[in-house]
A and B are shown apart, each in its own frame.
Chain A
């Protein structure tokens, strides 16, 4: 453990200001990191975390304020200067190059070179040795010459970490490093973080998952609306206190599950099989029920959702809606029969980011508001306004472009759009991934409202507390099978994890 009493600051930001047209993103922001500590930064989406990190790493230039590294004032003009100062950042998933090899990715723009006569050429051997040394330290084995597109999300995350280590960094910034990792992989990541800390590397840890902060971090700084709010020793604070600082008010309940009378079985699948992905899957969802689908990444949860919705073909098995056996050949049919899917990847499958709110909401139901091929724009506008009102989407009006909304509000548009179809079953895939605490609570409240109206919800989530808080029943998947079913009273984090983790095959 690092000595928290010591005050050897490696990185100090002093009264940083940064404005963008119309937004004062950082206001007199001060922040300091000690040598060999893991320092969390907390804040809602839009609080200024990433702007702050981009100033530190030279992507943005501050309007005023100073940056000190080891007591010396430094001028960080661009990413190169930050690397030279030993400051490296691991972005969420944005900084890898898919068609390049792992090795090329790790050394991009700071390759190791050697001289052959007058020429400077890449020294692949030296780079390989360097990466192998880092991988050994991390206890990771990956083929360095594999293209990044061919490796999984977890491996990509490892490459990001290893890449940051190639800089010999003294300060390593991790932006949501666990967003796409399973619990087991998170444990391994924490082991790496502890080793780095023991070697005197300082880590700035940005995460929405408060549990992680309490597990791995030494200190935590909370920022809100571009301003410094508090900096505390993790040992001396509580989750409630952090959340209160982040949102500026006390959040009483994270998971406001409302009690709704549970009706008949609305949706049932029996013995679904799909190639190597899904095996003998049977489950049911009742009217007014929220059913959770838990499991590690790769367990087959998204695949199951896609199969139910006709996005992929099933080999065999039966689907019943309201007791009636039915076939779903494609997603259009699923929608017509009352099943909608709200994808985890909002940008890719969920929303048309470049279009405004009303168009996004009306898109899947254009046929209902169009007569003779002409769209009724008044009705479209009304749909948009309704969505904003009912789901409390924070947007000035229905003409607002979805891309400019925060993640949480985009998610609300997704749900609004799905709701406007008046479905019987809504499948929510990671509805609160990458969403800040305040918006998360609102989305949970919306889910509660939906079941009150008699909808059935099938919710996929990697956050166990969320499932435990929201669901009436939880199915657990592992290797393409349902391996456990828990009702509300008997579900515990430990119980679910145990079946989710058990090795199959």
Chain B
């Protein structure tokens, strides 16, 4: 029998590598920009972008771990934004703790519908969420011409006024940080998360172990969808106007943050703190380029380079230990 415990080699995890990379970049930026990258306003902007990417990334991480995907996130964020903006416009007195929960319910229903279709008709997640992306955007255009204008102060308040600690820390950034702690604990200490990993590793095995795969997936998608309301709020409250396309392209950034953060694109492994780091890396690209005086049109290019690098790093890790062979 193999009685010796497997030797523990000190290997760097993807998350660890990413953490070091982010720190190195930050230090480099400090010197390259003579500290101006670390100005309060710039950091607030980075924190805002990080927050919406990370909050959406929590659900995306859970979904990708199960071996699925949801590319309707951008469309869902758009729908949620419009729904929340419309509610807030009914009356000046409607506070954020009414329209945000309403947005969460909307998100949970739309994403839950994705998962329900997957479960009910055995449609691959990629296909169904591609289809619902069109449906959600299309439906939005039927109800609304382009944008909602002249939003009231109960809406713009979130962006302009809801800042704490001498006005330096936006409310939603605080929420994102709290969510980070909760999510890390949830990933480690909940039974629910173990089921997600199991589904992503070996769906049949999960069924044999008594996991109700369909129900688990639907709940996962609904959690992800509900969290999108917070990301949507961050994205949409900055102006006096919310457009139907406010969420366009967000899904790709969120998927990128998740995969860069070390979550396996084919499912089965990954962690939420990796996603937090991935989101941070993506969030600093654009402001870093600005501070360095580089044309921000390079943003997408660099984002792509970072994604490819992250994938190569994890591919190299996999190459090091090929699947066990037997004679």
Q: A residues engaging B (CB < 8 A)?
A: 57-59, 78-80, 83, 89, 91, 94-100, 104, 107-111, 113, 120-122, 139-143, 146, 149-155, 158, 180, 184-185, 188, 295-303, 460, 477
**Chain B contacts of A59 at CB under 8 A?**
207-208
* Contact (A121, B189) CB under 8 Å given A97-B205, A109-B211, A300-B327: yes
18 further contact pairs, Cβ within 8 A, besides A78-B210, A79-B209, A99-B201: A58-B210, A89-B208, A91-B205, A95-B204, A95-B205, A97-B198, A99-B264, A111-B191, A122-B188, A142-B2, A150-B6, A151-B324, A296-B327, A297-B327, A301-B327, A303-B327, A460-B327, A477-B327
Task: Let me know if B195 and A122 touch, CB within 8 A.
Answer: no
- Closest 3 pairs (CB-CB, A-B): A79-B210, A97-B201, A99-B269
B166 at the binding interface (Cβ < 8 Å): no
Cβ contacts under 8 Å, A140 to chain B: 1, 3
- When C-beta atoms are compared, the residue in chain A nearest to B189 turns out to be A121
Inter-subunit contact B326/A302 (CB<8 Å): yes
B194 contacts partner chain A, Cβ-Cβ < 8 Å: yes
C-alpha gap A141/B8 in the complex (Å): 14
Other-chain residue from B6, B194, B197 in contact with A142 (beta carbon distance below 8 A): B6
Q: Indicate if the CB atoms of A100 and B194 lie closer than 8 Å.
A: yes
- In the assembled complex, the CB of A332 is this many whole angstroms from the nearest CB of chain B, namely 22
14 CB contacts below 8 A, A to B, read A57-B208, A58-B210, A83-B210, A99-B268, A100-B197, A108-B209, A109-B210, A122-B188, A122-B189, A146-B6, A152-B326, A185-B1, A298-B326, A302-B325
Chain B positions within 8 Å of A303 at CB level = 325, 327
Interface membership of B190, Cβ < 8 A: yes
Q: Contact: A94 with B208, CB < 8 Å? A: yes
| Contact partners of A89 in chain B: CB under 8 A | 208
Enumerate B188-224 residues with CB–CB distance to A below 8 Å: 188-191, 194-195, 197-198, 200-202, 204-211
Q: Determine if A95 and B8 form an interchain contact, defined as CB atoms under 8 angstroms apart.
A: no
Asked if B194 and A79 sit within 8 Å, CB to CB, the answer is no
A122 B210 Cβ-Cβ under 8 A: no
- Among B194, B197, B202, B211, contact of A96 (Cβ-Cβ < 8 Å): B202
Is residue B316 within 8 Å, beta carbon to beta carbon, of the partner chain? Answer: no
Contact B327 A141 (CB under 8 A): no
Assembled-state Cα–Cα distance A93/B191 (Å):
23
- Name the B residues within 8 Å of A180 (CB-CB): 326
Question: Contact check: which of B191, B206, B210 meets A80 at CB < 8 Å?
Answer: B210
Nearest CB of chain A from residue B205's CB, rounded to whole Å: 4
Within 8 A of A (CB), among B131-151: none
Q: Say yes or no: B208 contacts A302, CB within 8 Å.
A: no
**A297 — which chain B residues lie within 8 A by C-beta?**
326-327
B321 CB–A CB distance under 8 Å: yes
What is the CA–CA distance of A357 and B253 in the complex, to the nearest angstrom? 45
Residue in chain B with minimal CB distance to A123: B189
Q: Say whether B327 contacts A95, CB under 8 Å.
A: no
Closest to A138 in B: B1
Please name the residue on chain B nearest to A460 by beta carbon: B327
Q: Is the CB of B8 within 8 A of A158?
A: no
Point out the residues of chain A lying under 8 angstroms from B269, CB to CB.
Answer: 99
Residues on B with C-beta less than 8 A from A122 are 188-191, 194
Rounded to whole Å, the gap between the CB of B14 and the closest CB of chain A is 12
A168 shortest CB reach to chain B, Å:
16
Contact A109 B198 (CB under 8 A): yes
Nearest residue in B to A298 (C-beta to C-beta)? B327
Assembly CA distance A351 to B202 (angstroms): 22
Q: Is the CB of A151 within 8 A of B201?
A: no
Q: Is the CB of A98 within 8 A of B268?
A: yes
Name the one of A57, A78, A94, A298 contacting B204, with C-beta atoms under 8 angstroms. A94
The residue among A80, A104, A108, A158 with the most chain B CB atoms within 10 A of its own CB is A108
Which residues from chain B contact A139 at a C-beta distance below 8 Å?
1, 3
Cβ–Cβ contact A143 & B6, under 8 A: yes
Q: Quick one: which of B1-20 are within 8 Å of A by CB?
A: 1-6, 8
State whether A96 and B195 are in contact (beta carbons under 8 Å apart), knowing that A140-B3, A141-B3 are contacts in the complex: no
In the bound complex, how far is the Cα of B200 from the Cα of A348, in angstroms? 20
**Closest chain A CB from B22 CB (angstroms):** 24
Give chain B nearest CB distance to A136 CB in angstroms: 12
Q: With an 8 A cutoff between CB atoms, is B323 at the interface? A: yes
Closest to A104 in B: B194
| A95 and B190 contact, Cβ closer than 8 Å, known pairs A140-B3, A143-B6 | no
Q: Are A99 and B1 in contact (CB-based, < 8 A)? A: no
Q: How far is the CB of A342 from chain B (nearest CB, A)?
A: 16
Given the known inter-chain contacts A80-B210, A153-B326, please indicate yes or no for A100 contacting B198, CB distance below 8 A. Answer: yes
Instruction: For residue A433, give the distance in angstroms from its CB to the closest CB of chain B.
Output: 11
Residues of the B chain whose Cβ atoms lie less than 8 Å from the Cβ of A99: 197, 200-201, 264, 268-269
| CB <8 Å contact, B324 and A153 | yes
The smallest beta-carbon distance between B322 and chain A, in angstroms, is 10
Residues of B within 8 A of A96 (CB): 202, 205
Q: Cβ of A150: which chain B residues have Cβ within 8 Å of it? A: 6, 321, 324
Task: Indicate if the CB atoms of B208 and A151 lie closer than 8 Å.
Answer: no
